[in-house]
C-alpha cells in the first residue's frame, strides 16, 4: 500500500467532502446514494429527495469528463469532482480541489459580526450575497442551496452555524459525525420504546 504524500492528501480534500455519499465506495455517487446519505445524516424524505435530484442533476455531466452524451442515471464521478466547482462560491476549494485556509478564515473575518466563531442566519445570507459573481445565475443557485441546506441541517440550538462545523463540512468529517448522531438517536428511541 502506497503512503499518500501531504500534497496528495491536500489535493483530495474536495473528494473527501463528497465521499460520504458514495455509499458502496465504488467512486461513483448515484442519486439513490445521495438520497441514502442525506437520510443517514438525519434529513427528511422530502429534503433528501430534493438533494438527490438537485445535486446529481447539477453535477453529473460536469464530472463525466469528455462525455457529452447524457447518462440518465446521473452519476457523479468522485475523481473528477473538482470539475463540478461552480461560480459564486467561497473559494475555499481551489481549482484542484485543495483546501485554501486563508479563504476559509476570510468568511469569518468579513461576515461573523455577532460571534467571531460562527455565522447567524442573517450573516450567512450576507455572505452568500457577497460572493455572487455578476450574471452567474447557476452559481447563485448552487451556492444558495448548499449553504441553506448546511444551515438547516447543522446550525446549533442558538441558530448559529459554527466555524468548526463549517470546517468539518469542507473536509467531509461532518457527515460521518451527523450520521453517528442520527444512528444514536434512533437507537435511543428504540430503547426508550422498549423499556417504556
Pairing relation of β-strands 76-77 and 161-162? unpaired
**pLDDT tens digits along 119-163:** 999 999 999 999 898 888 888 898 899 999 999 999 999 999 999
Yes or no: say if 153 and 162 are a contact pair by the CB < 8 Å rule. Answer: no
pLDDT at 126: 96
Dihedral (Cα; 86, 110, 127, 162), 10-degree rounding: 100
127: closest CA among 184, 176, 113?
A: 113
Low-confidence residues of the chain: pLDDT under 50: 1-11
Cell (9 digits) for 164: 468548526
The residue extents of the domains of the chain are 6-186
As a whole number of Å, the end-to-end CA separation of the chain is 50
E-strand stretches of the chain:
28-29, 76-77, 118-119, 161-162
Single pTM value for the model: 0.82
∠ Cα 139 58 122 (to 5°): 40
Amino acid at each position: 500500500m502506497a503512503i499518500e504524500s501531504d500534497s496528495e492528501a491536500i489535493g483530495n480534500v474536495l473528494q473527501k467532502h463528497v465521499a460520504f455519499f458514495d455509499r458502496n465506495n465504488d467512486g461513483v455517487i448515484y442519486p439513490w446514494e445521495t438520497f441514502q446519505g442525506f437520510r443517514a445524516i438525519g434529513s427528511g424524505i422530502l429534503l433528501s429527495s430534493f438533494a438527490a435530484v438537485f445535486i446529481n442533476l447539477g453535477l453529473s455531466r460536469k464530472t463525466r469528463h469528455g462525455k457529452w452524451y447524457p447518462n440518465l442515471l446521473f452519476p457523479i464521478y468522485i475523481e473528477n469532482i473538482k470539475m463540478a466547482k461552480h461560480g459564486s462560491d467561497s473559494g475555499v476549494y481551489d481549482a484542484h480541489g485543495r483546501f485554501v485556509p486563508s479563504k476559509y478564515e476570510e468568511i469569518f473575518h468579513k461576515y461573523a459580526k455577532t460571534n467571531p466563531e460562527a455565522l447567524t442566519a442573517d450573516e450567512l445570507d450576507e455572505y452568500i450575497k457577497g460572493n455572487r459573481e455578476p450574471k452567474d445565475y447557476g452559481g447563485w443557485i448552487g451556492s444558495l442551496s448548499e449553504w441553506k441546506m448546511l444551515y438547516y441541517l447543522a446550525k446549533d440550538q442558538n441558530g448559529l452555524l459554527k466555524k468548526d462545523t463549517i470546517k468539518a463540512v469542507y473536509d467531509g468529517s461532518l457527515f460521518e459525525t451527523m450520521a453517528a448522531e442520527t444512528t444514536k438517536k434512533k437507537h435511543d428511541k428504540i430503547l426508550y420504546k422498549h423499556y417504556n
